[in-house]
Each structure stands twice: as structure tokens, then as C-alpha cells.
Structure 1
Amino acid sequence: MMNKKGIFIAIAIITVSILMSTMYIQKQNRVEVNNQNYNESYKDKLIRFHVLANSDSPADQELKLKVRDSIIENMNSEFEKSSSIEETRQIISENIENMKNIALNEIHKNGKDYNVDIKLEKSNFPTKSYGKFTLPAGEYEAVRVLIGEAKGQNWWCVMFPPLCFVDVVNGVTDTKTEENMKKYLTEEEYEKIITNKDKKDKEDIEDIKDIEDIKNTEDNIMDGKVVIEEENTIKLKSKIAELIEKYI
């Protein structure tokens, strides 16, 4: 039988071990949540532009692009005045009817009588690339232009910062657009969405450095210079087992 002192010691060690494990798990969970929130912080700094065609017929798809071009062309000067996402929201709110009229005029010019609904709202998007930039899938604030039944293939870009003026077909992003993205996003946020060759080259260099770091770490371990945290946990568990075996 285990004496009272042994029981007390064993219980105390087990309790401390459980508390330490619980605290470690909670800390890791907090880190994961914070990292996720931080990694997606760029989404709150963007407003996307989303145009949905009436249907997938060639005529409706062509009309969708004409409506897109007409709105961008007519509203470009207004959005160029904006220096913040708040100003862009205000411009959008003040010009909903104006954009609707622009869209309707283009629709009527092409011999259609579709209605148009324009909203500023949260919407889910798939992953999409624009030139050098790739925006991961997720929920974004967006200006949505719904043409007719809005059941056709859609087109989207970014209204703020003004990524709508990217040559999507040829994958060209002008210097001004890149500067605007850097202006409104942090360096980490910008790196999150950049997909150009420079980033790939940078990642390759970092991978090489990581391999070197791993090799150096392995060398240090062989030299006894690195103390692995897991060893402490193993030692603690072994000690608990020894005490339990000793006093039982």
C-alpha cells in the first residue's frame, strides 16, 4: 500500500502535470486562432466588384462584360478620389443609383430589358488571381451587380484598392495598382496575396535557408547544444511513473 506522503506526492505531481498540459494546449489554441485572424486581416481592407450575368448564353455573357466596362469607365474618376476604404464605401453608397442607371443604359443599348440590382454586402468568393495577386477563397465585402435573373457565370475584381483596372486576360498589373495595394495593406498582408515570380524566387531562397537551419540544428543536437522541450515532458512522465511504482 502507498503511504499518505506517497499518495500526496503522486497526486500533486499528476495535478501539476495535467495543469501544465492544459495550459499548453490552451496557449496553442490561442496562437492558432490569432494566426488565423491575422492571416485573414487583409479581407477587411478590400472591397470586391462582382457582376453576375442573366444567364450563360453568349449574348448575356457578352452583355455582362459590357456592363462591367461601362461601370468601371464611368466610375473610375470617382473612385480615384478615394484615399481610404471608408471613403470608397461612401462613394459606393452615394452612387448606387448612378451605377444602376449606367448598367441599365448599357443593357437597353444592347436591346435587352433586364432589371439590375446593385448591393454593397458581404459575399463568399472562390480563390481568384488578378495578374500578380491571388485572393484566397472566403467572405469579402463586395459591390454586387445582379443582371436580370443573375444565374449566369460571373466576373469579379477588386474595387478597393483599385485592382479592377488589371489586364486580367494578359495577367498584367500596372505599377500604380501595386503601389496602391502596398499603401493599404501591411507588408505581411501584401505578401499573403502576391503571387509573382519574385515571391517564388524568395520562397526558394528561404527554403534553402530552412534546410541550412535544419542542418545546423541537427549539428547542434549532436553537440548537445539544443534542449528539446519534449524531453522535459518525457522526463516528467517518467518521474511520475517512478513515484507511482515506488509508493504503490
Structure 2
Amino acid sequence: MKRRNLAWMAGAAAGTAMLIFMIGLHREEQKIQQEIAASVVRFHVKANSDTRKDQDNKLAVRDALLEKIEELLDENSDQDKEETEKILRRHLPELETCAEKVLRERNCSQSVEVSFGESWFPQKTYGEYTFPSGNYEALKVTIGEGDGHNWWCMLYPSMCFPDAFHAVPDEEGEETLEKVLSDEAYDSVLRHGKLRFSFFLAF
């Protein structure tokens, strides 16, 4: 009987310890995501639908806006995350006009809205960097109904790639990312969102 009780107590203790560990891990992951979100600005383009034409329109708008954004940010080469956000907010009408011009030139009458605010992102990988799912500040572009496959990238630090499968991270963007994140958060991003934890049970 005593052995059974001891075995039950040991099992209960192990289960409790594991539960505490999992709760702690979840909280740590949330903390890391919030730190990353506070340090970056993302870019989100939503296509009208998944038809070939709508997806091509999305990519055309994306390319034009990336070129325009690069011009705007190059004029303020020393900007940080807050300054990047200010520049984007200040030029929202200009960016929306640019996107609309691209669509009209492609004989597309769909509406397009360019805004800046908080947006939910799934886990995404840019080159060798993986960013956890969660809410991030982002420049958002919605074409038409916005029901098609989306396109994501990072505006600050600069990590926008036309081809995510052959992406070569911008060296300056990499250096900036390492500077703005803590060692733990940067390590998590490089380890595809996995945190390093040591877990010991002693009885």
C-alpha cells in the first residue's frame, strides 16, 4: 500500500511539475513574441482572391509599394522602428495612390486600402529567421475583398524578399535585428521559434 501511495505521489508530482513547466514555457514564448513585436514593423498584402489574375495583381502592387517604401526609407536612413512607423503613417495616402495606379494600369477596377495598425500574423520564415505567430504592427494592403492568399515580409529591420524560397537576408537588416532583440529573442528567431530550456526533476 505504501509503495502504491509513493508511486501515486511520485506520478502526481511529476505531472504537476510538467504542468508548471508547460505554463512557464507558454509564458516565456508569449514574452518573446511580445518583445519581437515591439521591435519590428511588418508588411502584409492581401489579394482579392486566389485567381491567377488577382494573385498577379497582388504581386504587382507589392513590387511597386516595396520600391516606393524603399525610396521613402532611404531618405531617412538612420530611422529606428518608431521613425519607420511615422514615415509609413505619414505617406499612407501616397502609398494608396501608388497601389491604385498599379491596379488601374492593369485594367483592374478593384478597390485598394493601405493602412497601418496591429495585425495578426501566423508563424513565418524569412530566409533563416522564423518569427512566431501573434500580433504585430504592420503596413496592411487590402485589395478588393482581401480573400486571397496573402504575402508577408519585414519592413523594419529590412527583410523583404520577392522569393521566399531563395531569400538572401539583407546584411544590414540582419545586424539591426540582432541589435534590437535580446540574446534570448534573437536565438529563438534563429532556432525557428524554439526556446532553449533545461528541465530537471529531482525526487
TM-score tier after normalising by the smaller chain length: 0.7 to 0.9
**Match status 1:178 vs 2:171:** no
Look up the SS of the partner of 1:169 in the other structure. Answer: helix
What residue is the counterpart of 2:31 in the other structure? 38
Identity %: 32
Paired letter, 2:37: K
Look up the SS of the partner of 1:50 in the other structure. Answer: strand
**Match status 1:75 vs 2:76:** no
Following superposition, the deviation at residue 180 of structure 1 comes to 2.0
1:84–1:169: structure 2 CA closer, same or farther, 3 Å change rule?
A: same
Greater C-alpha radius of gyration: 1
In the aligned structure 2, how far is the partner of 1:64 from the partner of 1:96?
18
The CA deviation string for residues 53-85 of structure 1, in whole angstroms up to 9 with x for no partner, is 111110110110110010001110222425211
In the aligned structure 2, how far is the partner of 1:144 from the partner of 1:99?
11
Following superposition, the deviation at residue 186 of structure 1 comes to 2.1
**Match status 1:132 vs 2:128:** yes
Ranges in structure 2 where 5+ consecutive residues have no aligned partner = 1-16
Contact 1:166–1:173 (Cα < 8 Å) also in 2: no
Contact 1:50–1:155 (Cα < 8 Å) also in 2: yes
**Match status 1:194 vs 2:187:** no
**Partner of residue 62 from structure 1, selected from 48, 56, 59:** 56
Q: TM-score, normalised by structure 2?
A: 0.77
Q: TM-score, normalised by structure 1?
A: 0.64
Whose helix proportion is higher, 1 or 2? Answer: 1
Ranges in structure 1 where 5+ consecutive residues have no aligned partner = 1-24, 215-227, 231-248
The CA deviation string for residues 23-46 of structure 1, in whole angstroms up to 9 with x for no partner, is xx9xx79x9386345322112111
Paired letter, 1:108: R
Following superposition, the deviation at residue 151 of structure 1 comes to 1.1
> How many residues are treated as equivalent by the alignment?
180
What residue is the counterpart of 1:244 in the other structure? none
Contact 1:166–1:174 (Cα < 8 Å) also in 2: no
1:48–1:189: structure 2 CA closer, same or farther, 3 Å change rule?
A: same
